[in-house]
Structure 1
Amino acid sequence: MHYRRAIVPGGTFFFTLVTDRRRPILASAEAVDVLRNAFRSVRQSRPFEIDAIVVMPDHLHCIWTLPPDDGDFSTRWRLIKSVFTKHCPDECRRTPDAARLKKGEQAVWQHRYWEHQIRDEADFARHVDYIHYNPVKHGLARSPAAWPYSSFGRYVKAGVYAPDWGCDLMCLEGVGRE
């Protein structure tokens, strides 16, 4: 099957990447640091802006803006996934499927990813909100501010969000305030 991807130089895109079998390989600070380094490494040779990001235990969401003369996000993702896989902690590479191990597959990431071209400012804002609220939605934090692997703090500093934006009801009632 041939997948069509939007090739838009200078475009802004929302992405979702999922780990193989939704294993929580991004749950440790060490794994997130390896992922950060993979992003840094690829951005040195193939620049792009990370407008918003959240890293969850088994997936990540982000928005990128590509350079004006470049629409190739596929190569960037291939490189990021490859660098992460090469350097990730050993537990990332473990797979319950012995047949895949015999073939030499590392089974770290799902083969495909989701992308959506951001159409306008309202679309951008909706996707940024979705990204930052994701840890609350999944029950991993009571507020976006409580999740350490997100660009939420950058948005608070810029005045886009109040620090208590997205608090769940318990957080707003003062129960277990983080």
Structure 2
Amino acid sequence: MSYTLQPLLTGVTYFLTIRLADPHSDLLLRRIDLLRRAMRETLNRHPFRIDAISVLPATLHMLCTLPPGERACPRRIAMLKSRFSRGCPMSENRSSGQIKRGEKGIWLRHHWQHVIRDADDFMRHRDLIYFSPVHAGLCATPQEWVHTSLHRDVRAGINLPLSLHNSTQAKPIAQRPTTRLPNETKQIAGVVP
């Protein structure tokens, strides 16, 4: 049997999607203060930078960059889930496996994780994060959604997709213009000019 060695990735940027077990739940918004506290505790124990984030009722989309020398993204996700779950009651629909493992049945066991390859990949995923509430039918424009880092980026003067500035309806991903990163954003994305 042969084994393929994966390259050791450190200080990389990840796109993450973490979902609740019940896709119709609004628990993340109802308990947003608990989620924020769980995120702060996770950041204090295992630091990383949140480059972009959107919290939907049952889904969390995030771009995060680990510090140099770090590669343990799953540990951070597990800690976030655990800290959030501690403040929530048991789910009524736990499977026998979840009961056996002592899980509350709040989160899906697995998450989506993608390593950001370059500045364009970073922009595409940031765009996806900011438009996710529109795609979910929760608002008409990304600016209307409160639970996103879009507002932080606007205050910081970070270049955002043109479709955020001159559109009242979100454009499908394929129709959105490609934007180039300014040098400071390339550094945030882990791409050195």
Aligned to 2:39: 39
Unaligned runs of 5+ residues in structure 2 are 171-193
- Between the aligned partners of 2:134 and 2:121, the Cα distance in structure 1 is 21
TM-score w.r.t. length of structure 2? 0.75
The residue identity in structure 1 corresponding to 2:103 is E
Unaligned runs of 5+ residues in structure 1 are 170-178
Shift of 1:145: 1.1
Distance 1:22 1:165, change over 3 A: farther
- Between the aligned partners of 2:148 and 2:22, the Cα distance in structure 1 is 23
The residue identity in structure 1 corresponding to 2:132 is N
- Between the aligned partners of 1:166 and 1:113, the Cα distance in structure 2 is 32
Within 5 Å, which residues of 2 pair with 1:100-115? 103=100, 104-115=102-113
Distance 1:95 1:66, change over 3 A: same
TM-score w.r.t. length of structure 1? 0.81
- How much identity, in percent, do the aligned residues show? 34
Shift of 1:8: 1.5
- Between the aligned partners of 1:9 and 1:55, the Cα distance in structure 2 is 26
Distance 1:6 1:34, change over 3 A: farther
Shift of 1:143: 1.0
Match of 2:151, SS state, is helix
- Between the aligned partners of 1:15 and 1:5, the Cα distance in structure 2 is 19
Aligned to 1:26: 28
1:96 paired with 2:90, answer no
Shift of 1:101: 7.3
Figure out how many residues of one structure are paired with residues of the other and give that number.
161
Moved over 6 A (4+): none
Aligned to 2:184: none
- Between the aligned partners of 1:6 and 1:109, the Cα distance in structure 2 is 29
CA-based RMSD of the aligned residues comes to 2.3
- Between the aligned partners of 2:6 and 2:56, the Cα distance in structure 1 is 25
The residue identity in structure 2 corresponding to 1:80 is L
Aligned to 2:129: 131
